[in-house]
Amino acid sequence: MTKTQNNDPKNTLVMKFGGTSVGTSEAMEKTLKIIDSAKNEWKNVVVVTSALSGVTNWLLKGAAKSSQGEMQSIYQADSEIRQAHEKIADKLICDQIRRKQVKQEISHLISDFINLCQAIAVLGEATPRAIDAVSSLGERMSVRLLAAALEDKGVAAQVVESTQLIVTDNCFQNAHPDFKATGKITKQVLQPVFNSGKIPIITGFIGSTPDGIVTTLGRGGSDYSAGIIAAALQADEVWIWTDVDGVMSADPRRVPHAQTIPELTYKEVAELAYFGAKVLHPKTIRPIVEAGINLRICNTFNPDHPGTRLIPDNHNNSKGAIKAVTTIEGQKLITVEGRGMLGVPGVAARAFAAVASTGTSVPLITQASSEQSICFAVPMEAADGVISALEDTFENEIIKRDIDRIWATDEVVIITMVGAGMIRTPGIAGRIFSALGNKKVNVIAIAQGSSEVSISMVVSQADANEGLMALHELILGEHQ
Ligand code: ADP
Ligand code: ASP
Ligand code: MG
C-alpha cells in the first residue's frame, strides 16, 4: 500500500492548498514557503489550489443576482475580487513587470465574469453550464497569482488549467471524471512541465467535457481535484493543506476543545466527510485509496504540526473506539406511512425513484419504527419538492388509503459518531444514548452506516448543539 518506504527516493508529491491558505498575503507567504521547501525533498511537486477564500461565493452570488436582473452585486463582486488579488500581488510580487502582468490577467478574467453575468441577465436565467463558467474563474485567477508569486521568489512555476487535465461528463456543478481519459492526458501534459524543472500550479475544482466546456466538481471540490490528479500521476503522497491541525474530533469552529486525530482509516475519514466534516471533500478518498496513495491533512498556519495521516482500513489499532463526531445541519425527515403499505409491491423502490427524480440526495435512511413506514432525510430546501413528487407517485395508493400520510418534520440535524473500533466494542450504543439522555436530547431516528464505522442520530435543531457537545465529551472520555 505505502509506496514511500524506508530509503526509497521521494518521487511525486501532490499538495492542495485551500482558499484560506491563499486568501491573504500572510497566508500565501506561508504557502510559498511550504512549496519551496517541498521542492527540495521531492523529485516532482504538483500544486493544486482553490480560489482565494470567499471568491467562489462572490462569483456565484454575482451569477444568481444577474439572473434576477440585480446587476449591482456584480460590480461589488468585481471590486472585492480585484482588491483581494491586487493586495496580495502588491505585497508578494516585487518585480514590477510581473506584477503588472498578473494584475492584467486577473482583470481579463474579471471582465469575463462581467460579460457572463450580463449574458445571464439578458437571458434571465443562469443555467448550470453558465454557473460553472462563472464559478471556475476563481481558481483560474488564484493559480496565476500563486505562480507569479512563486516565480518572484525564484521558484520556477507554470500555470496549468485543469480543463486540460480532468475530463468529465457534462453533469455541470457536480461533474464526474473519466478516470481513464484523465490519467492519460494528465501524464502527457504534466511530464514536460516536470522535465523543464517547473512546478505545475493547477486549478482545483474544475474540469472540462471532451468538447472543452468547463465543468466543476462540486463545492469544496479542489480536494477531489488533488485526488484525481494524484491517481493519474500515481503519486506517492497527497498533502491537503488547510486552516486547522488536520482532521479533528469535531469541527473546531463548533467545539473549541476538539483535538487532532493523528491517524484515521480511509473508511473513517470517508464516513466523516460524507456526514458533514468539511475538512475533506467526500469524493477525494476513492481515487486515492484505489491508487494506494498516502494522504495527509495538515495546517498551512502551523506547518510543523504533523496533522492527520490516513492509514489502511486494517491497520487501525488506535486508542478509543469513537474518534469523531460530525453534523449535517438543515435537514428534514420525510416519512411515508400507511397501514396498507405492507401489501404494496416495490414501495421503497418507487419512493426513492420519486426522490431521485427531483435531483435530491438522501444522506440517511432510518430503520422504520414499524414496517408500515419509510423514513429518510433530505436537505430542508428540497423537502416540499420531494413531498410533491412522492404524492404524484403514490396518487393511487393515497386514494385507496394504502398510504395515509406523507410528511416532513421541522428542521433536524444528523449527528454522526465515527470510529472503526465501535463495532467491536460492546456497549457503545448504550453509552451514546445515555450521554444524550443525560442532557435530555431526544433522538428522533437512528441509522448505522453501511461501512459499520459510524452511527447516526437525528435530533431536532434545538437539541443539536447540546447533543454535539455531549457526544464530544464522550469521545474525550474514551481517549483518556
Ligand atoms: P479549505 O479551504 O482549506 O478547503 P475548508 O473550509 O473546506 O478548508 O475545510 C476546513 C474547515 O473544515 C475547518 O476550518 C473546520 O472548521 C471544518 N471542519 C469541520 N469538521 C472538521 C473536523 N472534524 N476536523 C477539522 N476541521 C473540520
Ligand atoms: N473554490 C471552490 C469552492 O469554494 C472549490 C474549493 O475551494 O475546493 O467551493
Ligand atoms: Mg475545502
| Domain spans of the chain, in order of start | 12-243, 314-480
* Ligand 2 atom closest to Cα of residue 18: 7
Q: What is the mean pLDDT of residues 229-238?
A: 97
- CA of 246, closest atom in ligand 1: 25
Please name which ligand lies nearest the alpha carbon of 18: 1
Question: 331 in helix, strand or coil?
Answer: strand
* pLDDT score for 234: 96
CA of 446 to the centre of ligand 1 (A): 25
- Expressed in angstroms and rounded, the spacing between residue 81 Cα and the centre of ligand 2 is 15
Specify the higher pLDDT residue, 164 or 317: 164
CATH, range 12-243: 3.40.1160.10
Cα-to-centroid distance, 469 and ligand 3 (Å): 24
Q: What is the mean pLDDT of the chain?
A: 93
What residue's CA is closest to ligand 1, atom 2? 18
By the 8 A CB rule, do 38 and 32 touch? no
Q: Is the CB of 20 under 6 A from ligand 1?
A: yes
Confidence check: pLDDT of 426 > 60: yes
Ligand 1 centre from 375 Cα, in Å? 30
> Could you tell me the pLDDT band of residue 340, with boundaries at 50, 70 and 90?
confident
Distance (Å) from CA 247 to ligand 1 centroid:
8
- Main-chain phi, psi angles of 156, to 5 degrees: -70, 125
Q: Please state which of the ranges 125-134, 284-293, 407-416, 442-451 shows the lowest mean pLDDT.
A: 442-451
Beta strands in 380-421 (DSSP E): 405-408, 412-418
Angle, CA of 333, 337 and 339, to the nearest 5°? 160
* Residue 142 beta carbon below 6 angstroms from any ligand 1 atom: no
| The three grid cell numbers given for residue 350, joined into one nine-digit string | 418507487
The CA angle 170-174-180, to the nearest 5 degrees, is 60
Q: Is the pLDDT of residue 333 over 90?
A: yes
Is pLDDT at 1 greater than 50 in this prediction?
no
As to burial, measured by CB atoms within 10 angstroms (0-12 exposed, 13-18 middle, 19+ buried), residue 124 is exposed
For every residue of 427-442, DSSP letters joined together read THHHHHHHHHHHTTPP
Q: How confident is the model at residue 319 (pLDDT cuts 50, 70, 90)?
A: low
Closest ligand to the CA of 273? 1
**Mean pLDDT of all residues in 15-40:** 97
Atom of ligand 2 nearest to the CA of 281: 8
Ligand nearest to the CA of 221: 2
Contacts of 8 (CB under 8 A, 6+ apart): none
Size of the chain in residues: 480
CB of 418 within 6 A of ligand 1: the answer is no
pLDDT at 431 over 80: yes
State the pLDDT at residue 348: 86
What ligand 1 atom has the least distance to the C-alpha of 297? 25
Q: Is residue 2 over pLDDT 70?
A: no
- In this structure, the strands spanning 206-208 and 199-203 are unpaired
pLDDT at 70 over 90: yes
For residue 73, pLDDT over 80 is answered with yes
Q: Hey, which residues does 203 pair with through a beta bridge? A: 49
Ligand 1 proximity of 202 Cβ (cutoff 6 Å): no
d(Cα 69, Cα 424) in Å, to the nearest integer?
Answer: 58
CATH number listed for the domain at residues 314-480: 3.30.2130.10
Q: Which of 222, 244, 280, 326 to mutate to test the pocket of ligand 1 (most atoms within 8 A of CB)?
A: 244
Lowest mean pLDDT among 130-144, 203-217, 239-253, 396-410: 396-410
| C-beta of 278 in contact with ligand 1 (< 6 A) | yes
Report, in this order, helix, strand and coil percent for the chain, each rounded to 5: 50, 20, 30
In this predicted structure, what is the pLDDT of residue 5?
47
CB of 48 sitting under 6 A from ligand 1: no
Which ligand places an atom closest to the C-alpha of 217?
2
- Of the bound ligands, which one is closest to the alpha carbon of residue 278? 1
pLDDT band at 369; cut points 50, 70, 90? low
* 228 residue type, one letter: I
pTM for this structure? 0.93
d(CA 143, CA 147) in angstroms, rounded, equals 6
Residue 452's pLDDT is 76
CA distance 455 to 451: 10
Q: How far is the CA of 139 from the centre of ligand 3 (A)?
A: 13
pLDDT at 425: 80
At residue 468 the predicted structure's pLDDT band, cuts being 50, 70 and 90, is very high
Contact 450, 370 (CB under 8 A): no
Please state the rounded mean pLDDT for residues 186-211: 98
DSSP 44-84: EEEEEEPPSTTHHHHHHHHHHHHHTT-THHHHHHHHHHHHH
Average pLDDT estimate for 191-200: 97
Which DSSP letter does residue 168 get? B
Highest average pLDDT, of 270-274, 299-303, 421-425, 448-452, comes from 299-303
Residues within a 6 A CB radius of ligand 2: 19, 50-51, 56, 138, 204-205, 219-222
